[in-house]
Amino acid sequence: MKRSISRLAATVCLLLATACLSGVQARELEAPILLAANSNNFLPSPDALIGKTLQDIRASRLDDALKEVNRVIAIRPDFKLAYLIKGDLLMARARPLAGVGAVTVKAPHDQSLSDLREEARVRMLRYIDQPDPSLLPRQILQLAPQQRYALLADASRARLYLFENVDGEPRLIQDYYMTIGRNGTDKRVEGDKRTPVGVYQVISRMPRAQLADLYGSGAFPLNYPNAWDQVQGRGGHGIWLHGVPSDTYSRPPRSSDGCLAVTNPDLNELSQYIQIGVTPIVITERADWVTREEWERSREDLREELAQWRMDWQTRDASRFLTHYAPEFLQGSGWAESKRRNIENKTWIKVGLRDASIFLYPGGDMAYAEFTQDYFSDRLSSVSRKQMYWKRHTDGWRIVLEKSRGMSDRTQLVTR
């Protein structure tokens, strides 16, 4: 028994050390652990739950035991024995559990021992490296009123965060364990088994009846490649958020062909929040959590850029209006001169912007905005939904791609 406990202690030390090497500072391990959601009003005793866990293990009810030990960790994240038992339970999915700390060889079937250790590590990071509830995600700066919820996929943490729209601001309400592509992120070509990074949208829903068992309880296709991906020549298709096979609770953190996968219960829960054609999902290698002050500065920076773009257009100052566009956007095809004539030939122009959402791309040097544009002039009136990609230059943000839904970006601009 002493030898088993010793092996368990060594396992946890290794997992904690790996967590530290992954960017978790030692002082964070000693600090109070914060949970994303506080939905449990009546919490049972951790000792009673750990006892139930051991009983389930003895009866070979390992899935039940994992649920119980997860409840223990949610209540008492500092309960080290719970982490030890959970590590063994995750490994035991690949072979029978002979005793605590007994799984030390390569596992059969799809999941290797290293896969299961990695799953144990990232699941434990959910409690060690949990974002402080007072911080906000830099990638989500503003949500339109119709976007009731938003998703943020953090590949490094293997977490999918769910936010509620509260007066345009994202409020974290839940998070889920998530699987990404076998070869990580930054998808470029078909078949590279990587998950794309960027700002996407859920465009449809596919029920279980239309899918192979691989996709579990359903799937939500994303609009990859989006407009920016296409301009960059990124290939591939069929990037979905989906479940897992019916005989599997969860998959290793990196085991898909590029899709995002969550457990079937989690997908069923997420289905309540996803709005087809509306819900945004930002996929990043690592999410940035910042103070409200820093978040507001980032948001105001882009909102002011957008407001100035509108004002320069509305005042028919063609020269100032064109400075909002990157040189690579303006070069070729005579678009800039055509746009200048179009603006200066109008007697008056009014431009209204509403229902805007703003996101920062992973890395922070690109941004994406989408809004409804109400355009009026002495010659034309129209309403359109506009998409705008910005890139940070040394002298500020510049537009590198602009589109109106259902029509070419430059054709739309020239006609105005």
Mean pLDDT is lowest, of 34-48, 123-137, 143-157, 215-229, for 34-48
pLDDT(325) > 50: yes
Nearest-5° Cα angle at 83, 117 to 90: 40
Q: In this model, does residue 11 exceed pLDDT 60? A: no
- Supply the pLDDT for residue 16: 42
Is residue 128 very low, low, confident or very high in pLDDT (cuts 50, 70, 90)? low
Tokens of 308: 């100035």
Q: Which residue has the higher pLDDT, 241 or 4?
A: 241
Contacts of 284 (CB under 8 A, 6+ apart): 139, 152, 153, 154, 155, 185, 197, 362
Q: Is the pLDDT of residue 56 over 90?
A: no
22 pLDDT band (50/70/90 cuts)? very low
Q: What are phi and psi of 290, to 5 degrees?
A: -130, 165
Residue with tokens 């998703």: 151
**What's the mean pLDDT when you consider all of the chain?**
81
Phi, psi (rounded to 5 degrees) for 50: -65, -35
Contacts 24+ apart (CB under 8 A), 294-301: 294/138, 295/136, 295/137, 295/138, 295/141, 298/138, 298/141, 298/360, 299/141, 299/142, 299/358, 301/397
Q: φ and ψ at 254, to 5 degrees?
A: -125, 95
If one compares 369 and 411, the residue with the highest pLDDT of the two is 369
pLDDT of 17: 39
Range among 77-86, 259-268, 399-408 with highest mean pLDDT value: 259-268
Bigger pLDDT: 117 vs 285: 285
Q: Which of 103-107, 126-130, 345-349 comes out lowest in average pLDDT?
A: 103-107
At residue 168, the pLDDT reads 96
What are the structure tokens assigned to 392, written together? 């940070």
Task: Look at residue 251 and tell me whether its pLDDT is greater than 70.
Answer: yes
pLDDT of residue 50: 62
pLDDT at 239: 97
Rounded average pLDDT over 234-263: 91
Q: DSSP letter at 62?
A: H
Lowest average pLDDT, out of 14-23, 123-132, 233-242, 385-394, goes to 14-23
Percent of the chain with pLDDT over 70: 75
87, 113 contact by CB (below 8 A): no
Structure-token match 């805007």, residue found = 356
Over the stretch 174-224, which tens digit does the pLDDT of each residue have?
A: 989 899 999 999 999 999 999 999 999 999 999 999 999 999 999 999 999
Higher pLDDT, 108 or 86: 86
C-alpha dihedral sign at 374, 397, 308, 340: negative
pLDDT band at 80 (very low <50, low <70, confident <90, very high): low
| Mean pLDDT along residues 318-331 | 91
Report the pLDDT averaged over residues 326-346. 88
> pLDDT class for 43, splitting at 50, 70, 90?
low
Q: Say if residue 46 is preceded by a cis peptide, omega within 30 of 0.
A: no
pLDDT value of position 150: 98
Alpha-carbon distance of 158 to 152, in angstroms, equals: 11
* Distance between CA atoms of residues 86 and 203, nearest Å: 37
φ, ψ dihedrals at 384, nearest 5°: -145, 160
pLDDT of residue 349: 96
Mean pLDDT, residues 225-241 taken together: 95
**Residue located via tokens 């566009």:** 325
Contact status, residue 135 vs residue 235, Cβ threshold 8 Å = no
pLDDT score at 4 = 44
> Among 278, 73, 37, which residue's Cα sits nearest to residue 162?
37
- Domains annotated for the chain, with CATH where assigned, are 2-128 (no CATH), 136-288 (2.40.440.10), 291-414 (3.10.450.50)
Region of poorest pLDDT, from 3-7, 68-72, 151-155, 324-328:
3-7
Most confident of 61-75, 109-123, 183-197: 183-197
Question: What backbone torsions phi and psi does residue 90 show, to the nearest 5 degrees?
Answer: -65, -40
